[in-house]
Amino acid sequence: MCGIVGVLGDHEAAPILVQALARLEYRGY
């Protein structure tokens, strides 16, 4: 989650957040 916190302030990064969350789920995190 630490890697995602830095992107929360950027609303345009929403698609990136979705991809990041998908990767975390895939890793079983």
Q: What is the rounded average pLDDT of the residues 8-29?
A: 68
Contact criterion met (CB below 8 Å) for 3 and 12:
no
> Would you say residue 22 has pLDDT above 70?
yes
Structure tokens at 1: 């989650």
Mean pLDDT of the chain: 64
**The pTM of the whole model exceeds 0.85:** no
Q: What is the pLDDT of residue 15?
A: 75
28 secondary structure, DSSP code: T
Q: Which band of pLDDT confidence, cut at 50, 70 and 90, is reported for residue 28? A: low
Apex 2 CA angle, 17 and 23, nearest 5: 45
> Would you say residue 25 has pLDDT above 60?
yes
Q: What is the pLDDT of residue 1?
A: 46
